[in-house]
Chains A and B, each alone.
Chain A
């Protein structure tokens, strides 16, 4: 709200809903909006060495062409949707015709899919110009975006810090005003945790609520695509647009998308009287929890109580095993999913050195060694082990049973309360490189987000302020029963409204200014 550009209004500082209204009112064209965001990207995104580096591919030409088509529709009085003409960024894990889809991996460098993911097809049908593809941990494996083969994304709040992961690119793009909207995917928190550490809003829908067709699978039974935005209302608008049953995804649910925009508007009134809020005992602090995170979380709780909510503590005892279960299920599924990257049909092909006329098998081995990074190899090998005969029951089988126990804990909890809440992540953004060679420490940061993926329930992370120790964003997570996505929007919007009222502004208004090529060593 503070910053303005030389031409007057800085369109990059507006919410998507505001942009849609401005488009509808004829105050601005989609070409102008799109150009403003492309300019912002050019100014602050930089590259692997400096800048935010939220984008792996920017499609200026394609986005402007879509923007022109949008303006033509609007001029003809036939906008394709409310968000027609509002630009968006898409995580590089979603297939896009005409745009590379690398999943942050060398394995897919330069691969241009011959088909659109269902989510992207819906965005195109609704008229949202696609600015480009955002950076991510390789094949979505990671919590910091440092595992991208193309260099890390940097947190716009502090360019020496991680933006969270795996969808650090989408969150950072939105936090740095490079895009008003972005698509993320959340397997163990990859939308919500980046949202928390970049001061943005991220939603993981109910499993099956958004089609996975064209989402390059990490762990099929956990993956969900969802919105990444700066406001809860924007997430609701985007979620309604991309959600719904898809016959191409057999695991997509047939239930209609709940009225999310209505829920967000209702929540924005700040009235939560009668709402029963459960604080998850196991995610309430302890070793590894940063005091500043807990302080902001408590303030948000107090705001809810002051607005009429009833807050109680609820135990979900089995979620202490969630990380272990997750790090068995995920590697198992991904070891199989990633087998297709074998240098035969697409992607990187590397010939082994010093071998004359190498066999297909030798080329597969050499290509997979060259094309995959360390984290991917770790998980593939762990998953191969977990699925091996003789180990299946002890590992994958046990992990699947734990999912049952965790789901039962949630079911029991939701008999007592309407929503469950916790801090989204135990700490604020850590320094780039800090946990890169300590996988367990990295995994531990996902403890609050993983349980929702295991149980398939929806969750939102909304900004809860800045931690006192480091001045970095903290996220407040709201979880609801499966299919009750509207509840996370209602409560998320209420928290957002109550805190903004308390602060007198949105959190992102406090975001530091980024200068062109900031962080460059030159």
Chain B
């Protein structure tokens, strides 16, 4: 547990001497109505232990029954990742004891995954990088423990734990990459881009809410280093539950530096599970992998094999969304984005958000501007993913609609976003409640213009003398009095009219 004091090597220096090999395991929680093996609701956030039955509670005698929709989602994910779909595969029991696992085995798949041998092409800073997918398989989630006592509410030091099994049995698809080599210094970016673009794909498939902050999408990052030019892979560490795209990138960077420092010091890398800490950006040692981790897999005898017919597979293939790379190229043209704008959009994780915002009625450039500039900044400040910043594409489109209608301007729009993040209601409600609407009523504006003229007789005279450039000072005074909520163009017209 002395990991925080571990030596690190500078990242760039590390990559001069070592080649990183990455492996990513992503768990996707499906959005089916019911759990993987029983008819309990798979929804999030019920009262504790209110969404359970004998099966997902692991009661003696209870039996599993496979959710057809989960199998369908697994196949669609497999197809979208260019995988082969097994003609015949089975569920298997992964045996280990843990209090939040009701049966003390997880019903998963072992050497017969439903999907295998695929790939995902990801865009990394304008280059396409092919990530090979080893497998995607079906399994079930565990319950959730709350730790009581001790200082931090964490597992260590707790006096006891309270377990809620509502989550137990919710369908998961685990997607495992082959070792990703050759990325060099881009390894952290590749890892991030893979997870981000996998998420986009999952969202496009509509099979999961895919929110990392909610745990719908969980990434484990495996990393090993090999001396530059060496063929063999080094010992790997497995960093668990890295909960944002940014954390994926940081976890890779940290592990590269940590492994390199150990290797450089002549120490071996321990094959172990590590935990990533969002606050400090470091990983700490978890449990060592040992032969105690003998999962004793065997085919689940309570279930029969899954043998998707080729007809079914082809039917599902026809439901797939457009290939992401082709789609990005198509929409760049449609939207009229430059290469740089497109790269920034994708890099900010805003591609899907812009698409949805445009679909909700906003102009592409306006959508890009809000997401890539304004909201990306706010997400960064809050330390969350852009998609999880707290504003939806529909809301952004509505805000832009208010700008287009002249109700507010860009500056006021930022206040509307403040209101949205504070949960003050819809954009229109916020404009109303905060009194943000631009005043275009000539009566109110006229009075303000008269006040400004009266307060600045010298300036007024210059304008009467034809020096229209002087109007700026009066306009500024009017805007100040109107607290910014005036249409500056109309104010100028009124000033010039009155002093003609």
Contacts and interface: CB of A to CB of B under 8 A. Distances in A.
Interface of A: 93-95, 101, 103, 108, 111, 113-115, 117, 212-217, 219-221, 247-251, 332-333, 335-336, 339-342, 344-346, 357, 360-361, 364, 384, 387-389, 392, 396
Contacts, number: 109
A217 B57 CA distance: 15
A108 B296 CA distance: 25
Given A357-B159, A388-B294, A396-B298, A336 B304 contact: no
Given A115-B53, A216-B60, A396-B298, 7 more contacts: A113-B54, A117-B61, A213-B61, A333-B298, A333-B301, A360-B99, A387-B296
B61 A342 contact: no
A336 B298 contact: yes
B63 interface: yes
Interface of B: 53-54, 57-66, 93, 95, 97, 99, 102-105, 159, 161, 163, 294-298, 301-304
B102, B295, B302, B303 — most chain A CB neighbours (10 Å): B302
A115 B97 contact: no
Contacts of B105: 336, 339
B60 A250 contact: no
B63 A248 contact: yes
Main secondary structure of the interface of B (DSSP, over half): loop
Given A339-B104, A345-B57, A214 B298 contact: no
Contacts of A335: 95, 296
A340 B63 CA distance: 13
Nearest to A392: B298
A246 B95 CA distance: 27
B95 A250 contact: no
Given A336-B105, A344-B99, A251 B296 contact: no
B103 A340 contact: yes
A249 B60 contact: no
Contacts of B58: 340, 345
B60 A108 contact: yes
14 contacts: A101-B61, A103-B60, A115-B59, A212-B63, A214-B62, A217-B61, A250-B63, A251-B302, A336-B296, A339-B95, A346-B60, A360-B99, A388-B294, A392-B298
A86 B296 CA distance: 46
Given A114-B59, A336-B296, A342 B97 contact: yes
B360 to A, nearest CB: 42
A389 B62 CA distance: 28
A113 B59 contact: yes
B451 to A, nearest CB: 75
B302 A389 contact: no
Nearest to A365: B97
Contacts of A249: 63, 65, 302
A445 to B, nearest CB: 25
Contact of A339 (B103, B163, B301): B103
A115, A340, A384 — most chain B CB neighbours (10 Å): A340
A250 B55 CA distance: 13
A389 B294 contact: yes
B102 A345 contact: yes
Contacts of B60: 95, 101, 103, 108, 111, 113, 216-217, 340-341, 346
A312 to B, nearest CB: 35
Contacts of B97: 339, 342, 361, 364
Main secondary structure of the interface of A (DSSP, over half): loop
B304 A342 contact: no
A113 B298 contact: no
B66, B296, B303 — most chain A CB neighbours (10 Å): B296
A345 B161 CA distance: 12
Given A388-B294, A388-B296, A389-B296, A221 B61 contact: no
Given A95-B60, A247-B65, A220 B104 contact: no
B57 to A, nearest CB: 7
Given A113-B61, A340-B60, A250 B304 contact: yes
A250 B64 contact: yes
B62 A250 contact: no
A248 B61 CA distance: 11
Contacts of B295: 389
A333 B304 CA distance: 15
B35 to A, nearest CB: 14
Contacts of B95: 335-336, 339, 387
Contact of B66 (A114, A216, A250): A250
A358 to B, nearest CB: 10
B296 A217 contact: no
Contacts of B102: 340, 345
Closest 3 CB pairs of A and B: A339-B104, A220-B301, A387-B296
A111 B105 CA distance: 22
Contacts of B66: 250
A340 B298 CA distance: 16
Nearest to A107: B60
Nearest to B103: A340
A332 B298 contact: yes
Contacts of A361: 97
A250 B303 contact: yes
A342 B302 contact: no
A346 B163 CA distance: 13
A111 B57 CA distance: 15
B109 to A, nearest CB: 16
A214, A247, A361 — most chain B CB neighbours (10 Å): A214
B296 A220 contact: no
Contacts of A113: 54, 59-61
Contacts of B304: 250-251
A94 B61 contact: yes
Contacts of A108: 60
B301 to A, nearest CB: 4
B306 to A, nearest CB: 11
Contacts of A384: 296
A250 B302 contact: yes
A360 B161 contact: yes
Contact of B302 (A114, A216, A220, A339): A220
A117 B61 CA distance: 7
A365 to B, nearest CB: 9
Contact of B104 (A213, A215, A251, A340): A340
A342 B99 contact: yes
A29 B177 CA distance: 69
Given A114-B54, A342-B97, A344-B99, A215 B61 contact: yes
Contacts of B301: 219-221, 251, 333
A512 B105 CA distance: 48
A248 B303 CA distance: 11
A335 B296 CA distance: 10
A405 to B, nearest CB: 18
Nearest to A115: B54
A344 B93 CA distance: 20
A211 B431 CA distance: 63
Nearest to B159: A357
A217 B301 CA distance: 10
Contacts of A251: 301-304
Nearest to A344: B99
